[in-house]
Amino acid sequence: MRNYFLGAIVFLAVIVGGNWYYWQAMPVEEAAQTGGATIKTQDIAYFEGAKGYFVRPEAAGDYPGVVLIHENRGLRPEIRTAAEDLAKEGFMVLAVDLFNGQVLETQDQARAVTSQFDQAKGVENMRAAAQYLRGQGATKVASWGWCFGGRQSVELAISGEPLDATVVYYGGGMATTTQQLAPIKWPVMGVFGDADQAIPVATVQAFESSLDTLGIENEVYIYPGVGHAFANPSNPNHAPAETADAWEKTLTFLERHLK
């Protein structure tokens, strides 16, 4: 079911409430002050040629897992920060590395790398990440990706890997037909901007319509007036209020379906 947010009242409420979690850098030692859990971090080798960023609450316990999937510039600092912020909310998070350690600075570099991307190997990589999380005790696992990673989040969902939830932020080139999306048997959340030239609203509507036709529970949010990669603070399109609102909705979605 699509949700449109018209006006700034919702966003201002989020800001006033102090809910600026997503993408905000918060050192681990400040976790107790911010109300989040203390976390521990580790770079891990979970797949051949890949070193991911594993973050989990420090306290012993059972936590659901999230496979976090980077944009088309690799496992950059903002992705690591997102993993840390999510772990502080009570999740085990593995931010994957799909580019064999490459962290890119320009779109030209990103296009060169993604044009050579081996999709089959990428799926193997993400499935290995899900299996790693299960090996760490996660009984429920979700995926969440942005841009290139948004598409990969959908690719993982239709690969045959059993998940409990899928989150996609403006996934360019993602699967949209009922035939493609049929393997999904769990809830899906999508976040998009209506000014995103890379992913037209018509594409988002096709995605949502197919999910509805298949009877897949879904939440699709289209934010007015924002463009591609609006949730990335390093992108010129960054929209802080919409980003904060989307973070809250994503966190609620993951808590509902994983905890």
Domains of the chain: 2-258 (3.40.50.1820)
Q: Longest C-alpha distance within the chain, in Å?
A: 48
Percent of the chain with pLDDT over 70: 86
pTM over 0.85: yes
Residues 6+ apart with CB under 8 A from 50: 96, 97, 98, 100, 101, 125, 128
Residue 68 dihedral angles phi and psi, to the nearest 5°: -100, 130
- pLDDT per position as a tens digit, 209-248: 999 999 999 999 999 999 999 999 888 889 999 999 999 9
- In the predicted model, what is the mean pLDDT of residues 157-161? 98
pLDDT of residue 3: 52
What gap in Å lies between CA 153 and CA 98, rounded to an integer? 12
Contact 110, 70 (CB under 8 A): no
- In the predicted model, what is the mean pLDDT of residues 66-70? 98
pLDDT of residue 2: 55
- pLDDT per position as a tens digit, 100-136: 999 998 989 999 999 999 999 999 999 999 999 999 9
Residue 168 dihedral angles phi and psi, to the nearest 5°: -130, 125
Confidence of residue 35 (pLDDT cuts 50, 70, 90): low
Q: Tokens 């390093």 belong to which residue?
A: 234
Contact 253, 187 (CB under 8 A): yes
